[in-house]
Amino acid sequence: DKVKKSLCVFEYIYFARTDSIIDGISVYEARKEAGRMLAKQHPVEADMVIGVPESGIDAAIGYSEESGIPFQKGIVKNSYIGRTFIKPNQSERERSVRIKLNSLASSVKGKRVVMLDDSIVRGTTSARIVTMLKEAGAKEIHLRISSPPFLWPCYYGTDIPSKDELIACNYTIEEIGKMSYADSIEFLSLDSLAKIMDGHGGYCDACFSGKYPAPIPDFSIAGKDYDYCTPIKRY
**What was the pLDDT predicted at 40?**
98
**What was the pLDDT predicted at 222?**
47
pLDDT at 168 over 90: yes
Kindly report whether the global pTM for this prediction surpasses the value 0.75.
yes
Structural domains of the chain, ranges and CATH numbers in brackets:
7-228 (3.40.50.2020)
DSSP string of the chain, one letter each residue: -PPPP-EETHIIIIIS-TT-EETTEEHHHHHHHHHHHHHHHS----SEEEE-TTHHHHHHHHHHHHH-PPB---EEE-TTS--STT-SSHHHHHHHHHHHEEE-HHHHTT-EEEEEES--SSSHHHHHHHHHHHHTT-SEEEEEESS----S--SSSS----TTT-HHHHS-HHHHHHHTT-SEEEE--HHHHHHHTTT-S-EE-HHHH---SS--TTTHHHHHHHHHTTTSPP-
Of the ranges 56-60, 144-148, 171-175, which one carries the lowest mean pLDDT score?
Answer: 171-175
Q: Residue range 177-186: average pLDDT?
A: 97
